[in-house]
Chains A and B, each alone.
Chain A
């Protein structure tokens, strides 16, 4: 290894990318391949009264059109969620079906209504324009917090409310409440960690290829997670034995998490290929990526941090409403829970922590793991509280952190550090790290300059 340490190591894969010889999913052309366009709901919430595909089906070059009814009639399941978080009272998580195409109602802008398969991309899109859908527009709910209200529009009619699950972690809430009530100082903040689109530069793409002679399927997909997609698609969606299905992820043009999940389009092109006995390619347009790629974040949080008169943190209380979107994406429940609550000890000795999460369905695109997934949200709120607490109490923010750091422990002679929120840290020396960082930036000078500048009322 030593010849690599401190050396610049050139990537071995670059030549194909710099010469235009990369092989991304949409670059693949199979003999007899058809092109799919998916007609999507322009409404956040709408009942589908009827769909008329007759005109589109008769157009030259159209091979087949399938709607949500066809999928339901074929008894194809929806894509599953792969992570179960049950309610605090033990009730099972609400996991409503996420059909490949919806038959009864659209639950977010971009929900799939029909797939048009044609000889080329242009025809598929033209034909989709000729499909008549009679929508009855319903009231929509988009805020994770408002979705929890009893009178909020119901995203899934079969559920008693919009709750996917609720969850908590840490110390008993009454102990945390009591510590906050009796504290010397409490810093309270409201956070909106807004939803975002991952926007990998390569739009998602999938090709389903059913080989009639061998009764075997191949799915090419722009994915970070081909093995798991094969498992989920075979076992839960299409009911196929895994040895009959090969999933290929060729070069992938960025993902940042958004290409880890099992998407409806993957199972849809695979199934369609079996129906028409020809390969079916679907590639998202950018505007389609916005309304079909899993989004990130969407947390609405209220948090309180309690301090004693010396600036020691005595308690932390976090209440988060986590928007799941209209359906539970593959890992969505893990993000605001196990990947979020467990980070709230941070680097501090806070003795009492309680985090409470309510996950709700909204008429929005499904949310899932994106760059850090739950952990940046936790770290952001924690450090904002510490920073604001310092300013409110007139203590230097670095000083406040030094007061509260977990003392250095190496995890060998000293044991690991057991947090209040399940994790055990292996080792850490936060004080030294911050000291070094302060030295490197010339912290005291920076603060002096800052003071000077604000006295002169300039930035």
Chain B
């Protein structure tokens, strides 16, 4: 067992974890932050995407001990917590960017990583950034539109 200190959505968590515990199980089973999903357990689908020190990682292929001393942001921590939604969360609703919603947290986290690097991505850049995230329901077009729409919202508020 290892003692870790991981800051998740701004809150520090000190826990004992086994060396092999995956970050995604730490989030889901230990902290009960179940917004981060597991779709494949093989780094293929992106449903488990979270931000680690601001950069997107697939939490199913990352050990909890590797996150020791670092900052994790999950879908639950994306908005400011005062009841208002992040522009990406609004845009996915406005552009019908989801159906079953299972891929959505991963899509939104990946898109937030993209928008932090590139405030107004082209359609091609969005598709490239999301290529590690699978959606079986929507056919992707409306997900791409949602990200574009969120980028516009963020820019017009800036």
Q: Residues on A close to B: CB < 8 A?
A: 8, 10-11, 13-24, 26-27, 29, 120-122, 199-203, 251-254, 256, 283, 285-287
Of all chain B residues, the one with the shortest Cβ separation from A27 is B34
> Within 8 Å CB of B99, what residues of A?
254
- B33, B44, B100: which contacts A252 (Cβ < 8 A)? B100
Cross-chain contact B33 with A203 (CB below 8 angstroms)? no
Q: How close is B92's CB to chain A, nearest CB, in angstroms?
A: 5
Interface: B42 (CB within 8 A)? yes
Cross-chain contact A20 with B34 (CB below 8 angstroms)? yes
**B14-68: which have CB < 8 Å to A?**
18, 20-21, 25, 28-29, 32-42, 44-45, 47
A-B contact count (CB 8 A): 111
Cross-chain contact B45 with A201 (CB below 8 angstroms)? yes
Interface: B75 (CB within 8 A)? yes
Known contacts: A19-B89, A20-B76, A254-B100. The answer to whether A201 contacts B39 by CB under 8 A is yes
Known contacts: A20-B74, A122-B20. The answer to whether A201 contacts B42 by CB under 8 A is no
> Within 8 Å CB of B20, what residues of A?
122
Cross-chain contact A19 with B35 (CB below 8 angstroms)? yes
Q: How close is A87's CB to chain B, nearest CB, in angstroms?
A: 37
Q: Is the interface of B mostly helix, strand, loop or mixed?
A: loop
Question: CA of A121 to CA of B28 in the docked complex: distance in angstroms?
Answer: 12
Known contacts: A10-B94, A18-B89. The answer to whether A26 contacts B136 by CB under 8 A is no
Q: How close is B68's CB to chain A, nearest CB, in angstroms?
A: 19
Q: How close is B29's CB to chain A, nearest CB, in angstroms?
A: 8
> Within 8 Å CB of A199, what residues of B?
136
Q: Which of B79, B88, B94, B102 has most A Cβ within 10 Å? A: B102
Cross-chain contact B92 with A201 (CB below 8 angstroms)? no
Cross-chain contact A20 with B102 (CB below 8 angstroms)? no
Question: CA of A201 to CA of B37 in the docked complex: distance in angstroms?
Answer: 10
Cross-chain contact A19 with B102 (CB below 8 angstroms)? no
Question: CA of A22 to CA of B94 in the docked complex: distance in angstroms?
Answer: 18
Interface: B140 (CB within 8 A)? no
Question: CA of A62 to CA of B96 in the docked complex: distance in angstroms?
Answer: 45
- A8, A22, A200, A285: which contacts B35 (Cβ < 8 A)? A22
Binds A, one of B103-111, B114-122, B124-132: B103-111
Question: CA of A129 to CA of B130 in the docked complex: distance in angstroms?
Answer: 36
Known contacts: A202-B102, A253-B101. The answer to whether A18 contacts B92 by CB under 8 A is yes
Q: Residues on B close to A: CB < 8 A?
A: 18, 20-21, 25, 28-29, 32-42, 44-45, 47, 74-76, 78-79, 85, 88-89, 92-94, 96, 98-105, 108, 134-137
Cross-chain contact B75 with A19 (CB below 8 angstroms)? yes
Question: CA of A254 to CA of B104 in the docked complex: distance in angstroms?
Answer: 12
- B42, B76, B79, B136: which contacts A254 (Cβ < 8 A)? B136
> Within 8 Å CB of A23, what residues of B?
34
Cross-chain contact B75 with A14 (CB below 8 angstroms)? no
- B94, B96, B104, B136: which contacts A200 (Cβ < 8 A)? B136
Question: CA of A26 to CA of B102 in the docked complex: distance in angstroms?
Answer: 12
> Within 8 Å CB of A252, what residues of B?
100
> Within 8 Å CB of A122, what residues of B?
18, 20-21
- A11, A20, A27: which contacts B96 (Cβ < 8 A)? A11
Cross-chain contact B39 with A286 (CB below 8 angstroms)? yes
- Knowing that A19-B79, A26-B38, A253-B102 touch, tell me 20 more A-B residue pairs with CB under 8 angstroms: A15-B89, A15-B93, A16-B101, A17-B104, A18-B104, A19-B35, A20-B76, A24-B34, A26-B34, A27-B34, A29-B32, A200-B100, A201-B135, A202-B100, A252-B100, A253-B37, A254-B100, A254-B137, A256-B136, A286-B41
Cross-chain contact A14 with B136 (CB below 8 angstroms)? no
- A8, A17, A26: which contacts B101 (Cβ < 8 A)? A17
- B34, B96, B103: which contacts A201 (Cβ < 8 A)? B103
> Within 8 Å CB of A201, what residues of B?
37, 39, 45, 47, 100, 102-103, 134-137
Cross-chain contact B94 with A20 (CB below 8 angstroms)? no
**Can you list 16 A-B pairs with a CB-CB distance of less than 8 A?**
A10-B94, A11-B93, A14-B93, A14-B98, A16-B101, A17-B104, A18-B108, A19-B76, A27-B28, A121-B29, A122-B20, A201-B37, A253-B100, A253-B102, A254-B102, A286-B44
> Within 8 Å CB of B37, what residues of A?
24, 201-202, 253
Cross-chain contact A14 with B34 (CB below 8 angstroms)? no
Cross-chain contact A22 with B101 (CB below 8 angstroms)? yes
Question: CA of A389 to CA of B122 in the docked complex: distance in angstroms?
Answer: 45
- A14, A18, A24, A121: which contacts B102 (Cβ < 8 A)? A24
Question: CA of A254 to CA of B89 in the docked complex: distance in angstroms?
Answer: 20
Q: How close is A206's CB to chain B, nearest CB, in angstroms?
A: 15
Of all chain B residues, the one with the shortest Cβ separation from A199 is B136
> Within 8 Å CB of A15, what residues of B?
85, 89, 93
Question: CA of A132 to CA of B36 in the docked complex: distance in angstroms?
Answer: 35
Question: CA of A92 to CA of B78 in the docked complex: distance in angstroms?
Answer: 58
> Within 8 Å CB of A120, what residues of B?
29
Question: CA of A200 to CA of B134 in the docked complex: distance in angstroms?
Answer: 10
Question: CA of A41 to CA of B98 in the docked complex: distance in angstroms?
Answer: 36
Question: CA of A15 to CA of B84 in the docked complex: distance in angstroms?
Answer: 11
Question: CA of A26 to CA of B25 in the docked complex: distance in angstroms?
Answer: 11
> Within 8 Å CB of B38, what residues of A?
26, 203, 283
